[in-house]
Structure 1
């Protein structure tokens, strides 16, 4: 999988897949101000940290997050070794695509299940499993590879920010190792610049070889208030720009806005049923309600997929 190829963008329009409007104008103005050494809003490169959610912000998450599809296939593989798993919940719900039961588990419940199904797998083995699966798994409605359903405007934005001295981080509720399997190829974000939910791990030496093994238990669920805490823990700098798409990202967006100096937080609204999907409050795995209602009050720039993006994928 190679990084998405983008057209050469001129200095006049470094974000060609973005339509003219408030969101694009605000982004261009913000980057111009923080990189102008003679201006009052100049920010040294060391402090130019930008954090992006992944599911629903950088790639398609509907009708289920990519990692949930991966979990379903993982359970199918486990069923080969133990057929009785098909009659036990929540495995039964996964295999039958029982959306109501899956939503009742919540995103954290699914991640806990995800961790349990990978007990005993080493980090290296997991990376290979995830990489191979992402190379072939397709979206049930779009018909394209799940790993290819990345948002072109966001890839442009990530590249534009990096060209202006920003360091771009992914801060996601998704699994850390799972997102690392795709972050460099699809987004140009280095593996070490991914912060995500993670499993408990153990170092061991087997037959003289060192390895790190998954213990089958969720260690940290990187969502909502945990996102700012994990940014502080793993990045060590408050971002000056943050981009999300759900209430799970709201704490990160407010954290970015709460610092001194120039700040920018953006919220993607999935309102384009023709080119992608239209959803917000009713998507129980990752709803958008409070952040949508209070975007103006909090100073968050609402970005409409339908209005602000000339292209989606």
Structure 2
């Protein structure tokens, strides 16, 4: 008979052998897909390849974390922009809310067109008319008051087609992309033609992008001191338009680093993608092409909102990745 000590040695050895065998034959757990709402098509592969290149230390394409800057347009890139920009819908609602204080608007364009729902007359007012509406409805209050107005509106307004809050009409694949980049050491910024103070009240809750990482258009403000309390008062004057050639300028002034990745969807993003991708080094440019009329909208070269014409041509020349929403996205909106 074996001594107790010999039996314990054999049992211990057998257990170790079984454990080693299990380790050898048990397959490794599958990796979690960081982009589950993306189909396994070329754009998804291009994103993953780029991220792997810039995060692999010791390779020529490695980019240190402080330089991993990614910039995203908002309207049409992160959330819906048809049938009109969300901020324009906000401005039109503000005209209606303020109309009782301005009886002259009933006979004065472009306000008359808004109050009568005459979109043809409003379109005829052109950019000048729209800028007048924005200046009038976004000024005459402190920045704190404006933030409250925006927050209240965004919490209650509904998109006319989908009858959902605008903050639910954000693109699930892009939310996953933002999270994937941040998990790999990127700092993500919104760089939009929309108003900087229109986006900041909700950008962190919706996108995970804090207000200090939002770059946008702005109106002039004035510092006031009243009864010992400081405030910033919004004036009806344009300060900066963060669109087209303004986007690289806004990036330079607010961020101070040239991005290595840029994501847009329209000609308004062309210069931002050029600034990001045409200066050498490792970089990535992507355009979202709206091709899904059933789940969202289909438009490109012939539209008033989010025209994709020159930038689409430039994508082929500059080897930017173009996302076909209908083909490349399993899911459009966040559930």
- Shorter-chain TM-score bucket reads over 0.9
Q: Is it true that 1:77 corresponds to 2:72 in the alignment?
A: no
Q: Does 1:235 align with 2:255?
A: yes
Distance 2:126 2:186 in 1: 34
Poorly superposed stretches of 4+, deviation over 6 Å: none
Q: 2:201 aligns with which of 181, 188, 202?
A: 181
Q: 1:205-284 to 2 correspondence within 5 Å?
A: 205-284=225-304
Q: Distance in 2 between matches of 1:101 and 1:261?
A: 48
Q: Is the 8 A contact 1:127 1:178 kept in 2?
A: yes
Q: 1:108 to 1:14 in 2, by over 3 A?
A: farther
Q: Structure 2: which 5+ runs fail to align?
A: 1-29
| Correspondence for 1:197 | 217
Aligned pairs for 1:101-116 within 5 A:
101-106=121-126, 110-116=130-136
Q: Secondary structure at the match of 2:200?
A: helix
Q: 2:259 is paired with a residue of what secondary structure?
A: coil
| Match 2:36 to one of 2, 12, 16 | 16
1:168-203 deviation per Cα after TM superposition (whole angstroms, max 9, x unaligned): 000000000001121001000010000000010111
- After TM superposition, give the deviation of residue 115 of structure 1 in Å: 2.4
Q: Is the 8 A contact 1:238 1:259 kept in 2?
A: no
Q: Distance in 2 between matches of 1:93 and 1:171?
A: 31
User: For the Cα contact (< 8 Å) 2:81–2:306, is it kept in 1?
Assistant: no
CA RMSD of aligned residues (A): 1.5
Correspondences of 1:81-100 after superposition (within 5 Å): 81-100=101-120
Task: Report if the CA contact (8 A) 1:112-1:217 is conserved.
Answer: no
Using the TM superposition, give the Cα deviation of residue 110 of structure 1 relative to its aligned residue in structure 2, in angstroms: 2.4
Shift of 1:259: 2.4
- Determine if contact 1:180/1:194 at 8 Å carries over to the other structure: yes
Pairing of 1:128-207 with structure 2 (within 5 A): 128-207=148-227
Query: What does residue 6 of structure 1 align with?
Result: none
Shift of 1:107: 5.7
Residue 95 of structure 1 and its aligned partner are, at CA, apart by 2.7
TM-score after normalising by structure 1: 0.93
Deviation at 1:286, TM superposition (A): 2.9
Task: State the match for 1:121 in structure 2.
Answer: 141
Residue among 48, 54, 57 paired with 2:77: 57
- Between structure 1 and structure 2, the one with the greater Rg is 2
Between the two proteins, the alignment pairs up a number of residues equal to: 304
Summarize the Cα distance change of 1:101–1:31 in structure 2 as closer, same or farther, 3 Å threshold. Answer: farther
CA distance 1:96–1:268, change in 2 (3 Å): farther
C-alpha contact 1:103 1:284 (8 A) present in aligned 2: no
List alignment gaps of at least 5 residues for structure 1: 1-9
The DSSP-based 3-state class of the residue aligned with 2:70 is strand
